């Protein structure tokens, strides 16, 4: 009943629960000959938790990755790669009072019904933001693989609640500034405003949502398999696998419905002998294939559901209406933590499509 694997050539299978011993992934189909160490993965995991602790859940784990297979003499062998991240800071007692009281906005109710009451409810079980540590680990390998072909994936926070960056930033600024603040926003002035919004929501026992923007540079033309495994449908599928994602758009996205064809069309020009477009309203995708322009995808995250404010809900075993204010340790906004997750998920999907398209070979020659 669960669906735990994604990809056809670079197949990522995830496992584990929020309060179990580990979360992890197995990657089947990573080409042989990729130089890979734990450090290559660890540096992305270290980015998942922003430096300022007040803006994220009080759950603290070092998130150390352990490689169990698929690497020999510091290179991938072509065999499945299994990665574990131990859960070390687990407080399951926080969830005992809520065993039968379903959190409004979380997955507790449908999971309880679908799995006959057997699903692990502690910390959201398998449907927890904690699973994203495993996604980041798999994404790190995909990014290392893509980087050997010059493909660079970069994500950052573009809005939190109503505080937004109004244009796509220069990529050099994104590289330099995104990790400098706990909001993961490349504009420090806007980042501070976002931070205030998050702290205010938290102090009021509430939460806020926002948008992560992700740009991929140097993607060759023609990545994506029309019709049903188009680059946009594959990315949408993997990105909707991230908990709390409520929307995915490419380029001008929903805004393009307000443009005329003459405004929305990206006109072709030749620049330094290369075919390019003057604008990038398509977000680098046409007909489900990459155009060679930067791939631009935006991912909308809802405000996380576990809030201290009391809300109406139901005790499902007593069949009684009640009220719940969620105690425990929760993120007042998931967006900063989601930045490396989006980056990793986009990389996983692109690695899969590039292997399928023959743009990445099965054996990498050094």
Ligand X SMILES: Cc1cc2nc3c(=O)[nH]c(=O)nc-3n(C[C@H](O)[C@H](O)[C@H](O)COP(=O)(O)O)c2cc1C
Least distance between ligand X and beta carbon 226 (Å): 28
Q: Decide if residue 335 touches ligand X (CB under 6 A).
A: no
Nearer to ligand X, 309 or 362 (CB): 309
The span from the CA of 341 to the CA of 347, in Å, is 10
Q: Decide if residue 290 touches ligand X (CB under 6 A).
A: no
Cβ contact 150:156 at 8 Å = no
Contact flags string 223-242 toward ligand X, x per CB under 6 A = -------------------x
Residue with tokens 């290392």: 144
Q: Which stretch binds ligand X (CB under 6 A): 2-10, 213-221, 259-267, 335-343?
A: 335-343
Least distance between ligand X and beta carbon 91 (Å): 13
Cβ contact 11:28 at 8 Å = yes
Tokens of 311: 């809300």
Q: Which stretch binds ligand X (CB under 6 A): 23-31, 89-97, 145-153, 329-337?
A: 329-337
Q: Which stretch binds ligand X (CB under 6 A): 27-35, 77-85, 126-134, 189-197?
A: 126-134
Q: Decide if residue 191 touches ligand X (CB under 6 A).
A: no
Q: Decide if residue 202 touches ligand X (CB under 6 A).
A: no
Q: Decide if residue 124 touches ligand X (CB under 6 A).
A: yes
Q: Decide if residue 18 touches ligand X (CB under 6 A).
A: no
Q: Decide if residue 129 touches ligand X (CB under 6 A).
A: yes
State which of residues 26, 128, 157, 178 lies at the interface with ligand X (CB under 6 A).
128
Residues 240-259 within binding reach of ligand X (CB under 6 A): 242-244
Cβ contact 59:89 at 8 Å = yes
Nearer to ligand X, 102 or 293 (CB): 102
Query: What residues form DSSP beta bridges with 322?
Result: 313
The span from the CA of 128 to the CA of 95, in Å, is 13
Q: Which stretch binds ligand X (CB under 6 A): 30-38, 122-130, 154-162, 277-285?
A: 122-130
Q: Which stretch binds ligand X (CB under 6 A): 148-156, 168-176, 289-297, 326-334?
A: 326-334
State which of residues 26, 305, 313, 343 lies at the interface with ligand X (CB under 6 A).
305
Those residues whose C-beta lies under 8 Å from the C-beta of residue 150, and which sit 6 or more positions away, are 218
Least distance between ligand X and beta carbon 167 (Å): 26
Q: Decide if residue 127 touches ligand X (CB under 6 A).
A: yes
The span from the CA of 78 to the CA of 127, in Å, is 30
> Which stretches of the chain bind ligand X, using CB under 6 A?
57, 106-107, 124, 127-129, 132, 242-244, 302, 304-306, 330-331, 334, 337-338, 341
């Amino acid at each position: 009943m669960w669906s735990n694997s994604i990809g056809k050539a670079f197949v990522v299978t995830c496992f584990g629960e929020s309060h179990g011993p580990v979360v992890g992934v197995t990657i089947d189909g990573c080409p042989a000959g990729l130089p890979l160490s734990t450090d290559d993965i660890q540096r992305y995991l270290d980015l998942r938790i922003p430096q300022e602790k007040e803006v994220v859940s009080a759950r603290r784990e070092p998130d150390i990755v352990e490689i169990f297979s698929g690497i020999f003499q510091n290179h991938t062998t072509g065999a499945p790669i299994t990665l574990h991240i131990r859960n070390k800071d687990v407080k399951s007692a926080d969830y005992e009072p809520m065993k039968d009281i379903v959190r409004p906005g979380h997955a507790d109710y449908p999971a309880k019904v679908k799995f006959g009451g057997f699903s692990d409810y502690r910390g959201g079980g398998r449907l927890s933001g904690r699973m994203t540590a495993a996604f980041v680990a798999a994404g790190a390998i995909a990014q290392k693989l893509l980087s050997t072909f010059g493909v660079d994936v970069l994500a950052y926070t573009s809005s939190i609640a109503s505080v937004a960056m109004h244009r796509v930033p220069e990529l050099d600024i994104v590289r330099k500034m995104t990790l400098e603040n706990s909001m993961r926003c490349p504009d420090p002035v806007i980042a501070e405003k976002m931070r205030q919004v998050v702290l205010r929501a938290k102090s009021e026992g509430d939460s806020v949502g926002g948008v992560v923007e992700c740009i991929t540079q140097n993607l060759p033309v023609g990545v994506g398999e029309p019709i049903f495994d188009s680059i946009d449908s594959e990315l949408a599928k993997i990105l909707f696998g991230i908990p709390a994602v409520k929307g995915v758009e490419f380029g001008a996205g929903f805004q393009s419905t307000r443009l005329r064809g003459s405004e929305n069309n990206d006109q072709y020009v030749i620049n330094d002998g290369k075919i390019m477009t003057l604008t990038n309203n398509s977000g680098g995708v046409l007909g489900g294939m990459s155009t060679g322009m930067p791939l631009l995808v935006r991912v909308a995250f809802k405000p996380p559901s576990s809030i201290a404010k009391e809300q109406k809900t139901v005790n499902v075993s007593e069949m009684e209406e009640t009220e719940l204010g969620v105690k425990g340790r929760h993120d007042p906004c998931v967006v900063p933590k989601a930045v490396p997750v989006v980056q990793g998920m986009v990389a996983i999907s692109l690695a899969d499509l590039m292997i399928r398209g023959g743009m990445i070979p099965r054996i990498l020659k050094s």
